Structure 1
Amino acid sequence: MRRNFLRRLLSLTPLALLGACSGADILNGLTPKEGYRVETAIAYGDDERHRLDLYTPDTGDPAALVVFFYGGSWENGERGDYLFVGEAFASRGVAVAVPDYRLYPDVRYPAFLEDSAAAVAWAHRHHQGPVFLVGHSAGAYNAIMLALDGRWLGAEQLRACDTLAGAVGLAGPYDFLPLQSVSLKDIFGPEETREDTQPINHVNDSAPPLLLLSGDEDGIVSPRNSRVLAERQEAAGGRAQARFYPGLGHLRLVGALSRPLRGSAPVLDDIVAFVQRESAGRHRGC
């Protein structure tokens, strides 16, 4: 992942002139190292992939904690690529936990959801304030499934409506059947059970509020996913909002959280405003 995450982003930004380096390395290299503390490789479970990095702002006890799930098609990813995300939220006074989770081909659905729920359970135990989920791409799927489908947090003796103040999906796949790729077919199991793997089929009126963000030039995960899920969740009596950013593609959307690219779209501003709003007005309990 370190050699391919955000590589395509370079051709779409001024960072293209830096050429052959990894996009994540470039963004992290340009990310300030002050203003926050980082604790690395904190165990939230027994597997070697059950580790997270915790970013805490220097400004005092953070009011909210974000658990950020990265993307990578459930096949790639490592928490160390996301220093730029940790700094982004810490710079606004929000703590961030970035967990690794088990990946294909070592595991298949629903293991990455079980791991994500275990990371949220750790966050719930260690933070007294509101907890939010934020994810990009496959990580957005993880975040939104935990918010909508009670099985995963339920296995940790938690309920989303009690545990989560909100969930944010960036360029998430929420309604992506029929599957085309061989690996996705293997990841999500037999065709007759795949409907149950789709967030769109778990909308309900007790879920925490959702903010679904997409770039209108995303050629990897169609913005339709965000629009339709928001519509279905509201129709089910829940709270959801979809927002679309002109000129942003799949990787530029998460890249806009970084200090070098933050001016390209108000992605960070919109998420932090959601966190602040839902933290202040949150009704605890199901």
Structure 2
Amino acid sequence: MQPLKQSSGLTGSTGKMHVDKIEYDQNGYGLDILRAEVNYRPAWGERSAVFREKARCLLDVSYGHGSRGTLDCFLADNGLHAPTLIFIHGGYWHKGDKSFYSYVAEPFVARGVSCITINYDFCPNVRMTDIVQQVRVAMAWIWRNAEALGVSRKLFVSGHSAGGHLTAMMMATDWASYDSNLPSSLFLGGVPVSGLHDLRPLVDIPLNDVLRMDAEEATAISPVNLPLRSNAPQLVVCGQAESDAFNAQSDLYVSTFESPDRRLERYAVPGANHFDVMNAFADPEHPFFQKMLALITARG
């Protein structure tokens, strides 16, 4: 563990939908609607680098699994008592890095929420099933080592795109069965953003060349095919301007699991495409950020 670096200073439809009936374009998931002239990563990376320089943080901490099994931890004041938000980056399970997403922590830390961003291994070097298991290892490690990290066990989990899928898989995990020393529900809330919750349609699209999923694996790691082990509230988010396929995935997740005992709020970020939604995620003036903060502070 590296030394602590001190700081210098519209609701969518929830009708039952069958995602396999959605038309997918030749790129695989409607991503051609993104504005080609906009490159999001440099701006995110620059903002993240600036924040890391001034943040009170632990960087590149190993959680002990895989070549990319590391995390960054950004500490709020009174971190041992503050709620903790864990963020899982996207990148279609085969690219991306936590270093581009430090910026998501900045507005939360400023409002008393510690944040942890994680890396994980990629397809095709590992299977999709391996990634799910690796992220479980990371979550359990964070729970066991929370005090050493300087954070509390009042955990919330969120992720974008592929990370939204992994967020839902974490909410579906029976943690006490996974490890008898863990509580049955590890998280006080979840925020899957632009998540993919039924992976079966991906088997037949060109992008599966890198994932190498067959129908059996896609079924086994699709959150909508699994029991949702947690009754903790969730904010299920997609950009209003994302493809029908992405919005259908969020609608399906909510319609599958909402019940009188479980609050799942479906929120469509007005005007946002698949990447704009992450700008809203970290904008303290945006209703999306405010909804997340309200969820976390109400329970954390």
Select between 129-138 and 153-162 the one with higher mean Cα deviation.
153-162
Asked if the contact 1:174–1:198 (Cα under 8 Å) also holds between the matched residues in 2, the reply is: yes
Deviation at 1:200, TM superposition (A): 1.2
Establish whether residue 97 from structure 1 lines up as the match of residue 116 from structure 2: yes
Alpha carbons 1:27, 1:84 under 8 Å: kept? yes
- Give yes or no for contact 1:63–1:130 (8 Å, CA) kept in 2: yes
- 2:196 is matched by which residue type in structure 1? P
Among 122, 146, 162, the residue aligned to 2:185: 162
Cα 1:160–1:116 shift into 2, 3 Å: farther
* Cα distance change of structure 1 residues 24 and 204 upon mapping to structure 2, 3 Å threshold: closer
- CA distance in structure 1 between the aligned counterparts of 2:94 and 2:48, rounded to whole angstroms: 22
Say whether the 8 Å CA contact 1:204–1:238 is kept in structure 2.
no
**1-side partners of 2:133 and 2:75: how far apart?**
25
- The question of 1:76 aligning with 2:95 is answered yes
- Determine the structure 2 residue equivalent to 1:197: 221
The equivalent residue for 2:247 is 223
Tell me the number of residue pairs that the alignment of Structure 1 and Structure 2 aligns: 261
CA contact (8 A) 1:117 1:153 kept: no
Match of 1:57 among 76, 99, 116: 76
Aligned to 2:139: 120
The alignment's TM-score, normalised by the length of structure 2, stands at 0.76
How large is the Cα RMSD of the aligned pairs? 2.9
Matched position secondary structure for 1:92: coil
- Measured in 2, the distance between the counterparts of 1:38 and 1:10 equals 34
Match of 2:272 among 242, 248, 270: 248
- More divergent stretch after superposition (208-217 vs 95-104): 208-217
Provide Cα deviations, 1:113-150, integer angstroms capped at 9, x if missing partner.
Answer: 11111111122113343111111110010011110143
CA offset at residue 20 of structure 1?
Answer: 10
- Partners of 1:227 and 1:77 in 2: CA distance: 26
**What is the aligned counterpart of 1:43 among 51, 59, 62?**
62
Equivalent position of 1:173 in the other structure: 196
Instruction: Identify the match of residue 143 of structure 1 among 146, 152, 167.
Output: 167
Structure 2 gap segments, 5+ residues each: 1-33, 147-151
Structure 2 CA distance for partners of 1:124 and 1:241, relative to 1, 3 Å: same
2:296 to 271, 275, 278: 275
Q: Runs of 5+ in structure 1 lacking a partner? A: 1-7, 280-286
Contact 2:198 2:219 survives alignment (8 Å):
no
Name the residue aligned to 1:28: 48
SS at match of 2:235: strand
- Say if 2:127 is the partner of 1:108: yes
1:48 is displaced (CA, Å) by 2.6
Question: 1:278: how far off?
Answer: 2.5
Q: Give distance in 1, aligned partners of 2:222 and 2:251.
A: 15
Which sits farther off after the overlay, 176-185 or 196-205? 176-185
- C-alpha separation between the residues in 2 aligned to 1:46 and 1:169? 23
Moved more, 68-77 or 84-93: 84-93
SS state of the match for residue 41, structure 1?
strand
Q: Which moved more, 1:236-245 or 1:84-93?
A: 236-245
The AA in structure 1 aligned to 2:193 is: L
Q: Report if the CA contact (8 A) 1:161-1:207 is conserved.
A: no
Q: Distance in 2 between matches of 1:54 and 1:168?
A: 19
